[in-house]
Amino acid sequence: MKRISIKDIAREAGVVPSTVSAVLNGKSKQMRISDALSEKIRAIATRLGYQPNSTAVSLRTGKTNVIGLIVEDISNTFFATLAKFIQDEAYSMGYKVVFCSTENSDEKGIELIRMLLQSQVDGFLITPTNGMHAEVAKLQALKKPVVFMDRFIEELEKVPYAIVDNYNGVINGMDHLYEKGYNTIAFLSVELEQVQMKQREQAYFNSIAKNKKGPPLLFRIPYDLPTGESVQRIQDFLQANPGIDALFCATNYLGLKGLESIKSLGLSIPNDMAIVCFDDHDIFRLYDPGITSVQQPIESIATTATQLLLKMINKKELEPQEMINLKSASLIVRAST
Amino acid sequence: MKRISIKDIAREAGVVPSTVSAVLNGKSKQMRISDALSEKIRAIATRLGYQPNSTAVSLRTGKTNVIGLIVEDISNTFFATLAKFIQDEAYSMGYKVVFCSTENSDEKGIELIRMLLQSQVDGFLITPTNGMHAEVAKLQALKKPVVFMDRFIEELEKVPYAIVDNYNGVINGMDHLYEKGYNTIAFLSVELEQVQMKQREQAYFNSIAKNKKGPPLLFRIPYDLPTGESVQRIQDFLQANPGIDALFCATNYLGLKGLESIKSLGLSIPNDMAIVCFDDHDIFRLYDPGITSVQQPIESIATTATQLLLKMINKKELEPQEMINLKSASLIVRAST
DNA sequence: CTGAAAGCGCTTACAG
DNA sequence: CTGAAAGCGCTTACAG
């Protein structure tokens, strides 16, 4: 059972391969091939079960219809979900997706970019780390389309990205709390030099200032502390600032999922204290009935990024405002019961 | 910045392209090309930053070094973890992985197989559904290597698979409970016509018989019941059979994670009752200190399947016993506290 | 030791 | 309207 090629069809139809190619690519009109002949060729193709060999097509056209997806770790729910939506979008447009994980290693990221480049992917979807800077710059020099997701590299201004809107996400969350009547909102952050964290903290400060609720109560804990230690520090912080009636977590690295998980961590908070988590990595953490505002940024990040990339691949001009694409933040709000 | 080809190197080195090809493919010795010349060519290649065009290689050699991964849903933790291990194994052997999700739809599965076939993947890694039967048979006719994971299709005897060992997993779990002194073990199963469920139930019956502990206490609940309803039925069942001192769940579809989650479901069980879950889909559910036996079948399934597939792709003969590859089950045991 | 040629399966100008 | 030819970038017999 040998795979049949365009030649086989041509022989069967008594024409030359290029005619078959034209018909099968819907160029019968331009080539002024008669409808009768076109129909005959198509019939033969389906009868023989013709499947074009896409490596041949790729070699000839320079397009593989494959996009490369580089994430930190595909087994992580966030990236896996991202991958799912990307895949859906890509397949619906006739593209395949090859994925790989960097394991947060710059060298591995660079190696993977090279590898995907060599296999001629049409474009890249990347959750970048700063270490990828130079390699991505090379991709740009080669005019390979790249879109960042979830994060971006500040120096690479020409690379479009789809991320959650850190600044406005926090502003919205703060507004929500003020509306609910909370007045002394503390901001719990993590000692990380990430753009995201800076943006979120900045939004907190600005919100406090704008609403004249100062002074700000920012508390930072190291990223790599054991959970128990983190909980202890938060506890101490709350103790030292008894006026606090709401806690805004800049990230959900403690894995808060509602009252139950807060208790199981051993964190004791007043019954009427509100807790809000800025959580862009997990859309499934909906336990409490008090949640008021939830969006699904993963889906919009994935879909937006993929669409952007496919436009670039197909040489469509991007609208200027498409170059930087901010998406709303997801927000998990637990109102006091 | 144009990509440079083998021709460019040849021109630079003053030789013909085939010589370059031979050198770069490590065939200098066979082609009796002098070490000096080989070195010179290699130097030029690295200086110009040569990257072979893999679509050209694929067209010529008929190999793409890509394997197709078809799972039910890549965003599901089980499949995502599987994907991760597959990717690790594949990349270390120089293969890329393109993935897609069937969403449990037979039509989609068939379509995806066709699509991957057309893009010339070297082999398939599939978590199959029965509806894929015919399509996978076609792959076999085309001599395309296929390995099943997690599930298999009984009629397709020639397709190797890597799955958890349902039968022995349950036997081991039962033995464990008997050793711990439990005597009246109920088996909680789900109304599903899956091979896995049948195997697990069979193991339960056989274990009861072998250990002369009868009569068996099998309780089945419909798969699609709301959680609350399921819990109620289990509760009723336990009430009606007060002698039960251990509950063996054939699957963890209730998402049991230990005592806490059992309580939060509203399931009230005697303090000295043991609960065992046969859980092959989630290796992270390790809450209780009483867990005695945990393995990581996802990793072995992924690695075994990938290695098997790569052997087949590279035309290595499989040992007869490799054709069917059973892996031990993961087991989460909560002993009474 | 090295070079010239064919060919993988397609598409795309181009010539009639 | 249709066909002949070139070529995408490689590798692989084969000839010297």
Instruction: Read off φ and ψ for residue A67, nearest 5 degrees.
Output: -115, 145
What CA–CA distances, in Å, run from A25 to A45, A94, B71? 12, 15, 31
- Percentage of chain A lying above the pLDDT 70 cut: 84
Among A55, A74, A120, select the one facing B84 at the smallest CB separation. Answer: A74
Split at pLDDT 50, 70, 90, the class of A36 is confident
Alpha-carbon span B332 to B257, nearest angstrom: 9
Provide the shortest C-alpha distance from residue A192 to chain B (in Å): 27
Average pLDDT over residues B115-127: 94
Residues 6+ apart with CB under 8 A from A92: none
- Which chain B residue has the Cα nearest residue A112? B91
A21: the nucleotide nearest its CA (via C1') is C11
- Give contacts of A65 with chain B, Cβ < 8 Å: 119
Nucleotide C7 C1' to residue A59 CA (A): 14
B7 class by beta-carbon count within 10 Å (0-12 exposed, 13-18 middle, 19+ buried): exposed
Six token digits for residue A32: 């002024």
Alpha-carbon span A104 to A129, nearest angstrom: 8
Six token digits for residue A148: 């960042």
pTM for this entry: 0.77
B42, B104 Cβ separation under 8 angstroms: no
Nucleotide D15 C1' to residue B31 CA (A): 14
> Is A119–B66 a contact, with Cβ atoms under 8 angstroms apart?
yes
Mutation pick from A4, A86, A96 vs chain B, by most beta carbons of B within 10 Å, is: A96
Q: What is the pLDDT of residues B14-24, one digit of tens each?
A: 888 888 888 88
Average pLDDT over residues A32-59: 88
What mean pLDDT is reported for chain B?
82
Q: Any chain B CB within 8 A of the CB of A140?
A: no
Vertex A144: Cα angle to A82 and A87 (nearest 5): 25
Decide if pLDDT at B168 tops 80: no
State the pLDDT at residue A102.
94
- Which chain A residue has the Cα nearest residue B86? A100
> Is B99–A83 a contact, with Cβ atoms under 8 angstroms apart?
yes
State the pLDDT at residue B328.
45
Q: Helix or strand or coil: residue B88?
A: helix
State the pLDDT at residue A273.
80
Q: What is the pLDDT of residues B217-261, one digit of tens each?
A: 999 998 878 878 888 999 999 999 999 988 888 877 666 655 656
- Least confident segment among B37-46, B56-65, B99-108, B170-179: B170-179
State the pLDDT at residue A332.
41
State the pLDDT at residue A257.
56
State the pLDDT at residue A244.
92
Query: B36-71 burial, b for 16+ CB within 10 Å, e for fewer?
Result: eebebbbebbeeeebbebbbebbbeeebbbbbbbbb
A34: the nucleotide nearest its CA (via C1') is D1
Sign of the dihedral through C-alpha B90, B91, B93, B95? positive
Total Cβ atoms within 10 A of residue A202: 14
Q: Helix or strand or coil: residue B130?
A: helix
Mutation pick from A64, A75, A93, A121 vs chain B, by most beta carbons of B within 10 Å, is: A75
Mutation pick from A119, A135, A260 vs chain B, by most beta carbons of B within 10 Å, is: A119
Split at pLDDT 50, 70, 90, the class of B300 is confident
Alpha-carbon span A123 to B66, nearest angstrom: 17
Amino acid at B229: E
Average pLDDT over residues A160-179: 80
Nucleotide C3 C1' to residue A134 CA (A): 40
Average pLDDT over residues B178-184: 85
D strand bases under 7 Å from protein CB? 1-5, 7-13
- Least confident segment among A34-48, A140-154, A215-229, A295-309: A295-309
Which of A255-269, B114-128, B316-330 has the largest mean confidence?
B114-128
Average pLDDT over residues B93-122: 93
A60: the nucleotide nearest its CA (via C1') is D8
Q: What is the pLDDT of residues B264-295, one digit of tens each?
A: 677 777 777 877 777 655 433 322 333 333 44
Instruction: Read off φ and ψ for residue B292, nearest 5 degrees.
Output: -110, -25
Q: What is the pLDDT of residues A280-308, one digit of tens each?
A: 554 333 223 333 334 457 787 888 889 88
> Is B77–A77 a contact, with Cβ atoms under 8 angstroms apart?
yes
Q: What is the pLDDT of residues A61-101, one digit of tens each?
A: 999 999 999 999 999 888 999 999 999 999 999 999 999 99
Helix axes B166-179, B195-210, angle to 10 degrees: 40
R_g of chain B computed on alpha carbons: 26
Decide if pLDDT at B156 tops 80: yes
Q: Any chain B CB within 8 A of the CB of A11?
A: no
Alpha-carbon span B170 to B180, nearest angstrom: 15
Distance of CA A327 to the CA centre of its chain: 10
Indicate yes or no: strand D within 7 A of the C-beta of A19: yes
Q: Any chain A CB within 8 A of the CB of B52?
A: yes
Indicate yes or no: strand D within 7 A of the C-beta of A60: yes
Nucleotide C5 C1' to residue A299 CA (A): 53
Q: Any chain A CB within 8 A of the CB of B84?
A: yes
State the pLDDT at residue B325.
46
Tokens 């001009």 sit on residue: A317
Query: Which residues 143-182 in chain A have a CB closer than 7 A to strand D?
Result: none
Indicate yes or no: strand D within 7 A of the C-beta of A32: yes
Split at pLDDT 50, 70, 90, the class of A272 is confident
Residues 6+ apart with CB under 8 A from A101: A70, A71, A72, A73, A74, A75, A79, B84, B87
HEC readout, B224-276: CCCHHHHHHHHHHHHHHCCCCCEEEECCCCCCCCCHHHHHHCCCCCCCCCEEE
Indicate yes or no: strand D within 7 A of the C-beta of A119: no
Sign of the dihedral through C-alpha B231, B237, B243, B248? negative
State the pLDDT at residue A286.
29
Decide if pLDDT at A208 tops 90: yes
Alpha-carbon span A66 to B275, nearest angstrom: 47
> Is A100–B119 a contact, with Cβ atoms under 8 angstroms apart?
no
Vertex A71: Cα angle to A225 and A99 (nearest 5): 145
Average pLDDT over residues B297-310: 86
What mean pLDDT is reported for chain A?
82
Total Cβ atoms within 10 A of residue A36: 8
Distance of CA A313 to the CA centre of its chain: 18
Residues 6+ apart with CB under 8 A from A52: A6, A24, B118
Which of A266-280, A286-300, B144-158 has the largest mean confidence?
B144-158
Alpha-carbon span B244 to B225, nearest angstrom: 24
A16: the nucleotide nearest its CA (via C1') is D3
Q: Any chain B CB within 8 A of the CB of A104?
A: no
Instruction: Report DSSP letters for B280-295, one per residue.
Output: SS-TT----TT-----
